[in-house]
Amino acid sequence: MFQKWHLFTPGPVPVAPEVLLAGARPTPHHRLPEFSAVLSEIREDLQYLFQTRRPVFFFASSGTGAMEAAVANLFSPGERVLVVRGGKFGERWGEIAEAYGLQPVYLDIPWGEAVSPEAVERALSENPGVAAILLQAHETSTGVKHPVREVAEVAHRAGALVVVDAISALGVYPLPMDEWGLDVVVAGSQKSLALPPGLSFVALSERAWERVEKAESPRYYFDLRREWKAYQKETTAYTPAVSLLLSLRESLQLIRKIGLERLFAHYALVSRACREGVLALGLEIFPRVPCEALTMVKLPEGVDGGALTRLLRKRYGVVLAGGQGQLKGKVVRITHMGHQSPLEGVLALSALEVGLSELGWPVKIGAGVARALEIIREHAEEVYA
């Protein structure tokens, strides 16, 4: 009766009412000229979001589908790729590469640390003939932000492509595909696009597209050659997720209205406010180089992350994400993505304070909230004016 859900997980994220309502409209037929006009509008706005002049393709799948599409369309069995592995989603790049018969070379880094361009350069020099580097823009399972631009420069000097999982990074901070020379960028709908799950996206540079025509890996639904033929006719190769695309159009229009620069400033502010609030409580931020999409809180000894997230969910309707893999029970993650105001991050902090207190950790109630509010008050006018 009293409970209202507050979602702070790194996907799905809160969705704006107008975006949800757009998807609830009567479903149009996807082969009519009217829907082709919708597709044309969506594709133009996706290029704005990806900051590219190249085509952006989409599929009815989770972001993992776009990751698989990248591997299937770029490489042939037996080719070598360098996989940056420092979390659950770096591991996923490797699993997909192995499934397609590639020979992944793993650059393992400790969970919580960002890969260094120097380490990438050494790995490439020790493994000549690597076709591409596969990495995350940031690793959602650890909260780490990787130096994508610098890695891309290293890759290009070695003649390798750079393939970036930006599923929870695109639209959160600058990742200009063309300017930085990113060869492949993949994304998903349930992150910064603030949509329900079910859409994935992939954009390829001209260099990457040259490999699409030559790759020998099997592909059917994720065949970008088929999609490109349909793209040129203002349609799709197969039946698209029509209702989700109507919501996507609305979401992209909102992003256009806000503007990327202001959107990036929003995420920078709310993530900083949350991090400083966490530090004011005497807690630690887990990653050394944190991303702006979420705040990962290292829990104190004796506090079980599973117990904390269950308490907050059941008693207060506040849904935080726990840790994955080796971090299970040791951290909680507070997302800043989706349809959130800056003050909703303060709500997440207040829930964290209350939950820790109820589990017996000596937290100073209000300390984190007060610090976060100071940061927001100091910078809100320049971001939201």
d(CA 81, CA 7): 37
Q: Which of 227, 258, 289 is the last residue of a domain?
A: 258
With respect to residue 6, please indicate whether it lies within any of the assigned structural domains. Answer: no
**CATH number of the structural domain spanning residue 294:** 3.90.1150.10
252 and 276 share one domain: no
With respect to residue 80, please indicate whether it lies within any of the assigned structural domains. Answer: yes
Structure confidence at residue 1 (pLDDT): 53
Q: Which residue has the tokens 């993505």?
A: 337
Per residue of the chain (385 residues), what is the pLDDT tens digit?
A: 567 899 999 999 999 999 999 999 999 999 999 999 999 999 999 999 999 999 999 999 999 999 999 999 999 999 999 999 999 999 999 999 999 999 999 999 999 999 999 999 999 999 999 999 999 999 999 999 999 999 999 999 999 999 999 999 999 999 999 999 999 999 999 998 999 999 999 999 999 999 999 999 999 999 999 999 999 999 999 999 999 999 999 999 999 999 999 999 999 999 999 999 999 999 999 999 999 999 999 999 999 999 999 999 999 999 999 999 999 999 999 999 999 999 999 999 999 999 999 999 999 999 999 999 999 999 999 999 8
The answer on whether 333 is annotated among ligand-binding residues is yes
Q: Domain residues for 337?
A: 259-384
226 and 147 share one domain: yes
With respect to residue 11, please indicate whether it lies within any of the assigned structural domains. Answer: no
63 and 146 share one domain: yes
Identify whether 14 is preceded by a cis peptide bond (ω within 30 of 0). Answer: no
> Residue 316: left (phi > 0), alpha (psi -120 to 50), or beta?
alpha
Q: Could you give the C-alpha distances from 318 to 8, 43, 155, 311, 348, in angstroms and in order? A: 7, 35, 42, 9, 7
Tokens read off for 255 = 């992003």
Structure confidence at residue 332 (pLDDT): 98
pTM over 0.85: yes
What is the number of other CB atoms lying within 10 angstroms of the CB of residue 1?
2
- Is residue 356 within 8 A of residue 291, CB to CB? The reply is no
Phi, psi of 81 (to 5 degrees): -130, 150
Q: Which of 230, 258, 286 is the last residue of a domain?
A: 258
Q: Which residue has the tokens 């492509």?
A: 161
Q: Which of 258, 273, 291 is the last residue of a domain?
A: 258
146 and 271 share one domain: no
Q: What radius of gyration, in Å, describes the C-alpha atoms of the chain?
A: 21
With respect to residue 12, please indicate whether it lies within any of the assigned structural domains. Answer: no
**CATH number of the structural domain spanning residue 170:** 3.40.640.10
Counted domains in the chain: 2
Q: Nearest 10 degrees: CA dihedral of 254, 258, 259, 260? A: -80
DSSP H helical ranges for 53-115: 63-74, 88-99
Structure confidence at residue 307 (pLDDT): 97
58 and 155 share one domain: yes
